Structures are given as structure tokens and as C-alpha cells.
Chain A
Amino acid sequence: GNSVTQMEGPVTLSEEAFLTINCTYTATGYPSLFWYVQYPGEGLQLLLKATKADDKGSNKGFEATYRKETTSFHLEKGSVQVSDSAVYFCALSDRGNQGGKLIFGQGTELSVKP
């Protein structure tokens, strides 16, 4: 079945450090890929998405490239801020499933220190 695997957290970085959160997936067909962010006490917010191979999603300085050959969608940011502290979820939606439901990874907690 379809699944998403993320690197385990927590990840602790100093402000202005480079961030990478690894995400790999298993899916039949050609899924769409997403990164969602969850700030403390809040719901999930879409951070970025990519709907086909080699697409790059970007938002708020975060980027992720859909790599079909390595079945990966790693999240990167060149310079993190304290306000980026949150839990990040990688997810996929099976294009072949008309329902479009999301399947999530387990989440990676990011803590950025001043």
C-alpha cells in the first residue's frame, strides 16, 4: 500500500542554519506530494506541494523537489528562523484515487534556537 517515511526528530538547529528533512514515499501510480506544517496548538497548514515528477514546490523560503527516481520529496530551507519551530509532515495523495485522500508520514519536529 501507499506510505510515507520521514526522518525521525526532533531536529534541533541554530538560527540561520540550513535545514533538510528527508521524506521518501511508496506509491502506485503518480502521486501528488505535500509538506504540511503544524505550529503548537494549531491545525495543519499546507506549506508546499508538487504534482508531478521534477516539480519544485516552494513557499516561505522552503523548497522540495519531486524526485521520482529516488521516490523522495525532501524539505529544505537555506536559513531557518526561530518562528519555523513546528512539526513538519510529508504526505502523498494517490492520483489514481479519486478521493484524493492524504497519507501522512509520522512528522518531524523542528526546534530552532536563537
Chain B
Amino acid sequence: EAGVAQSPRYKIIEKRQSVAFWCNPISGHATLYWYQQILGQGPKLLIQFQNNGVVDDSQLPKDRFSAERLKGVDSTLKIQPAKLEDSAVYLCASSQWGNSGNTIYFGEGSWLTVV
């Protein structure tokens, strides 16, 4: 079974530029998550989708971050304009059903450096 796919793996941009990350979840997984992991910290949830609807985006900095999941499959996370503090690993994850007992599977992450 293919895992969660993310791209690009690495990106370096200047502050105030924009960047987009793409995620393809495991086939059949209705729930998709984007996490931000700053170096030395645990991942923090940015946004959670159930199919193509947003379940939780309470920690998404909406003035600069946006995410969409058209057709309830692939998802894109965009940052515009980027700030230095956005340097982090952006992890996409998916699960079969959004309840606490089901396993959440993570992709390898997209590493962003803002200079």
C-alpha cells in the first residue's frame, strides 16, 4: 500500500515569497491533516479536513496560510508571504476515519527554509 506522498521534499525561499506544498493521502483515507513541526518541537496541527470540508483550522495563521482539498483527495498548503519563523517541516498525514482510535499515517514531510 502506498503511503502519504508529499512534494517538494525541500524548499528554500526568501521572506515575503510564496510557496506551495502538495499532499496525496493514502487511498481511501477520508481525513487529511497538515502539521507544522518547528525544529526541536513536536508537530502542531494547522488544519484538518474530513473529505473536502474543514474540521479544524483554529491554529492556521489565516493571514498568510491557506489550504484546500478539492475533490476530497489531494491537498495543497500555501504560504504567502512567507516569514522567517515559517521555517519548519510541513507534515501531511491521513487516516481512514477521523476518530481517536484510528492510526494516523504521516508523509516524509516538506522541509521549508525561509531566508
Residues of A within 8 A of B (CB): 4, 31-32, 36, 42-46, 49, 51, 89, 91, 93-95, 97-107
Contact = CB atoms under 8 A, between A and B. Distances in A.
Contacts of B21: none
Task: Give the 8 A-B residue pairs with the shortest CB-CB distance, closest first.
Answer: A104-B42, A93-B100, A44-B106, A43-B108, A32-B100, A95-B100, A43-B106, A100-B98
24 contacts: A32-B101, A43-B4, A43-B91, A43-B106, A43-B107, A43-B109, A44-B91, A89-B43, A93-B101, A97-B100, A98-B55, A98-B99, A99-B50, A99-B55, A100-B31, A100-B95, A100-B98, A100-B99, A101-B56, A102-B33, A102-B104, A104-B42, A104-B44, A107-B42
A24 to B, nearest CB: 14
Nearest to B97: A100
Interface of B is mostly: loop
A97 to B, nearest CB: 7
Contacts of B108: 42-43
A32 to B, nearest CB: 4
A106 B43 CA distance: 8
A94 B56 CA distance: 14
Contacts of A97: 100
Interface in B33-49: 33, 40-45, 48
A90 B103 CA distance: 14
Contact of B33 (A46, A98, A101, A107): A101
